[in-house]
């Protein structure tokens, strides 16, 4: 049985996102958007992009597409889909190609054409900038990263377990990006501007204590001590009701510090280091 190989090249030059997975799967943008075809063809192309740089065997792809109940001629169907994808993608004028090699198919593309790779690159840059204390630059880069998101990753293709797992992983990276962005914003003294965003994130992720921790700090620094304490009470109620546990040590210590008006809660406020 042939092997499908996915490799990636990143040539120098201007980056142009052509393949979007951070939302509804799409190929191209605006008037240049291309319909990859029926559901199974869209799913196959998405799976090839997910496995960029990794070997994807026919068995793996068949399992990803059809699960435990593949058709009798699944291998032939896979070959037909590959052939059709080549024809559909030919007018895209991008760097992705699906070439037949001795042992299977070789898929090559520029990483910068896939939005989730661009997002990961920007997230890594933002992480480094925040670690270095260059918070204004970190905020700019991390905002750019979040702007790439259009909705639920690969929305409409979640009948594949592989896609669901990949989407969950991307969502975790998105939440990390928010945490880093807010952390840098707090360090720059932008606590009042962050309160609304943090209320939205705690509503979206009620069990994620990191956002409640940041919200309590933002509220306290905004002279809203009572509201900060209410955030803790709500966190305790939600955690008790949904998972039967108390808030973690970090949140409990912050609650105690707010009750006592600890001046250390203003620690970390500083200007940009260049």
**In angstroms, rounded to a whole number, what is the distance separating the alpha carbons of residues 29 and 43?**
18
Q: Are 195 and 165 in contact (CB under 8 A)?
A: no
Architecture in CATH of 3-110: Orthogonal Bundle (1.10)
Distances (CA, A) of 42 to 31, 38, 46, 83, 90: 19, 6, 6, 13, 15
Q: What is the CATH number of domain 189-274?
A: 1.25.40.10
State both tokens at 197. Answer: 């965003």
Given a cut of 70, whether residue 255 has pLDDT beyond it is: yes
138-164: pLDDT as tens digits: 999 999 999 999 999 999 999 999 999
Which phi and psi angles does 69 have, rounded to 5°? -130, 65
Confidence label for 102 from pLDDT (cuts 50, 70 and 90)? low
**pLDDT the model gives residue 7:** 37
Can you give the residue ranges of every domain in the chain? 3-110, 189-274
Measured CA angle at 23 (ends 158, 9), to 5 deg:
95
Q: How far apart are CA 128 and CA 122, in angstroms?
A: 10
* Tens digits of residue pLDDT in 173-206: 999 999 999 999 999 999 999 999 999 999 999 9
**Crossing angle of helices 225-243 and 249-259, rounded to 10°:** 150
Q: What is the pTM of this model?
A: 0.88
């Amino acid at each position: 049985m042939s092997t499908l190989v996915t490799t990636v090249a990143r040539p120098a030059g201007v980056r142009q996102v052509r393949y979007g997975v951070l939302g509804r799967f799409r190929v191209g943008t605006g008037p240049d958007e291309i319909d990859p075809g029926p559901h199974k063809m869209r799913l196959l192309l998405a799976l090839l992009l997910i496995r960029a740089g990794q070997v994807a065997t026919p068995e793996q792809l068949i399992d990803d597409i059809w699960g435990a109940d593949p058709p009798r001629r699944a291998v032939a169907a896979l070959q037909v889909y590959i052939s059709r994808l080549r024809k559909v993608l030919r007018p895209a004028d991008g760097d992705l190609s699906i070439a037949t090699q001795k042992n299977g198919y070789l898929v090559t593309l520029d990483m910068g054409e896939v939005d989730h790779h661009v997002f990961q690159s920007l997230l890594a840059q933002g992480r480094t900038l925040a670690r270095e204390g260059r918070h204004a630059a970190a905020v700019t880069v991390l905002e750019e990263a979040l702007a790439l998101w259009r909705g639920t990753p690969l929305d409409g293709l979640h009948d594949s377990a592989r896609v669901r797992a990949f989407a969950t992983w991307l969502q975790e990276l998105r939440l990390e990006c928010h945490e880093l962005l807010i952390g840098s914003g707090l360090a720059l003294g932008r606590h009042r501007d962050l309160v609304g965003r943090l209320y939205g994130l705690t509503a979206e992720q009620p069990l994620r204590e990191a956002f409640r921790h940041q919200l309590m700090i933002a509220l306290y620094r905004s002279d809203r001590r009572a509201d900060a304490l209410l955030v803790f009470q709500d966190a305790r109620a939600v955690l008790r009701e949904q998972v039967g546990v108390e808030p973690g040590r970090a949140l409990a210590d912050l609650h105690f510090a707010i009750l006592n008006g600890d001046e250390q809660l203003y620690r970390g406020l500083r200007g940009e280091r260049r």
